[in-house]
């Protein structure tokens, strides 16, 4: 898959900003927490699937990496929401 990481990151940030404008802050923080938790759980199950299905290791590894990147993104957003006087 060919893509421009800088453009992908910028587009994701812009989409998040627009999305946040539609949510009350408390609800947004809760949704981001849930997303982070779900992404972490997905990583766990992908590890288990890869262990049980050796022929699917490459697919699981690729999907695990994406889930990990999303976990980091959600963690950063969550941390930013906790900064005092944070405004969206």
Q: Which helix (H) or strand (E) is 50 found in, with range?
A: helix 25-52
**pLDDT the model gives residue 3:** 66
Q: pLDDT by residue (tens digit) across 32-82?
A: 999 999 999 999 999 999 999 999 999 999 999 999 999 999 999 988 887
Asked if 46 and 60 count as a contact pair (C-beta separation under 8 A), the reply is yes
**pLDDT the model gives residue 2:** 62
Sketch the domain layout of the chain as residue ranges. 29-83
Question: ∠ CA(86), CA(36), CA(69), 5° rounding?
Answer: 100
């Amino acid at each position: 898959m060919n893509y421009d990481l800088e453009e992908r990151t910028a587009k994701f940030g812009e989409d998040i900003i627009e999305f946040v404008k539609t949510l009350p802050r408390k609800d947004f923080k809760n949704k981001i927490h849930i997303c982070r938790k779900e992404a972490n759980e997905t990583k766990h199950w992908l590890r288990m699937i890869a262990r049980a299905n050796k022929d699917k290791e490459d697919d699981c590894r690729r999907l695990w990496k994406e889930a990990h990147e999303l976990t980091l993104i959600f963690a950063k957003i969550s941390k930013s929401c906790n900064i005092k006087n944070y405004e969206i």
